[in-house]
Amino acid sequence: MHALQPRHLFLGLVSLVCSLPMPASAQEPSPSKPLNVLMIAVDDLRPELGCYGKTFIHSPNIDRLAASGMRFDRAYCQVAVCGASRASLMSGCRPETTQCWNFKTLLRSKMPDVLTLPQHLSRNGYETSLLGKVYHSASDDASAWTVDASEWAPRDRSKGKGYVQELPRKRNPANSSEKPGPSIENGGDVPDNAYADGHNAERAVAMLERFATQDKPFFLAVGFLKPHLPFNAPGKYWDLYDRDAIEIPSREDVIDGLPYARSSWGELKNYADIPAKTKMLDNDKTRELIHGYRAAVSYMDAQVGKVLDALESNGQRENTIVVLWGDHGWYVGDFGDWCKHTNYEIATRVPLIVSAPGIPAGETESLVELVDLYPTLCDLTGLSIPQHCQGKSIAGVVRDPKLSVRPAAFSQYKKSKPGVGPLLGTSIRTERFRYTEYVSSKTGKLEDIVLIDLDNDPGAIRNVASDPAYQSFLPQLHAWCEQSATGL
């Protein structure tokens, strides 16, 4: 293996590049009023949508957004867990800088002084506000928001706790040792606002109506929970799918894979209808869960449509950048796994769509990361890029899908190996490979490698790290992997 190159050198180069002024062409078009930004964050969303070629998914509203913007086919999160992924995106920093590795750690507990994306926009004349799940906790980065959504679009609490915390209606008391209710719920003949996402979509519409009367540009971040567990949605979205027609993915493990590197899917096992010690769900339960996941996707998509409709009806669409992203991927029985929490392709690949005024629609296979969104939005709005940002602006790719900004995209997740203890898993996605190293957090020793040749093995079913035919690729992949703290 090649020796580690100094990380501080790469950090300095990244900071230098990020601080350079952009050419005038990167800031076009140049309206009299600065461009607004509508950011739509979606929890646990796979790039399994109509616009991504998955015609079995009913997602007409995200599809029409994609038809007006740039669809990124190779976009990757930094950590396949919601809190850490969002902390990285909103701060512009990689997880080795944020030190946020799970859903519990607040960004401000680790980086109290970092200039976040909404803070940067607010300091440059933007009104900023959020609805729903943007950070994992609504209290994180509270000072970054200039408009309190509860004052502009009050939360209707008359129908109970469903609007405060998305859970099945029949739930055990908080002080109970029993599990929460079922992992799915067909809500039947209930309106969209019977669940939190529908209610927050209504509030987002009200926010956009208020912003339309303001002179200042706005940054509105709207976070939708679905398709996060539990898979609950009104019945009409369940009716879009025929459960018997659902194909079950292969549940075979990766040949020569690492058992500890898989998802333990403990998140799903928290629900009362999932046995805690099961290692494989039967076909009926697998189809039921996939049905619920897809119903939840279509329900969320309908809420996205309401927000986009409001943006258009208020005359703001032509002056607004719209960004939609998923915080990480999600297993739906692939390799027998569920949830996320791995360094592999399914857990780390995310949908990403950027639609900006005056820029033609398109699609790109350029490798990008969610940490790139902060500097990209700076470029598209004509603002300077703070020097602490560790991603790269992909504004050029938004304009020209043939451009490439990096040879590999990083993702990381911590695991534990029996007999060894905690490991930091660092994974890179190149044009051809997914290469993952697991390094002991105690000794710094490289314990294991996983190499997937996605050109020849698109199903990612074989680890070829020990295959002699691939040994010549390992030094370069290792050298790139060592740059995880700053990126490429």
Catalytic site residues? 82, 136
DSSP-assigned letter for residue 7: H
Identity of the residue numbered 225: L
Please count the residues of the chain.
Answer: 488
Q: Report how far residue 183's alpha carbon sits from residue 271's, in angstroms, rounded to the nearest whole number.
A: 5
Q: What ranges in 57-122 are assigned the alpha helix state H? A: 60-66, 82-91, 95-98, 107-110, 117-122
Token pair for residue 280?
């494989």
Q: Report how far residue 459's alpha carbon sits from residue 475's, in angstroms, rounded to the nearest whole number.
A: 24
Neighbours of 209 (CB within 10 A): 15
Q: Report how far residue 23's alpha carbon sits from residue 5's, in angstroms, rounded to the nearest whole number.
A: 31
End-to-end Cα, the chain, rounded Å: 19
φ, ψ at 247 (rounded to 5°): -85, 135
The helix/strand/coil state of 29 is: coil
Residues 6 or more apart whose CB falls under 8 angstroms from that of 160 comprise none
Neighbours of 430 (CB within 10 A): 19
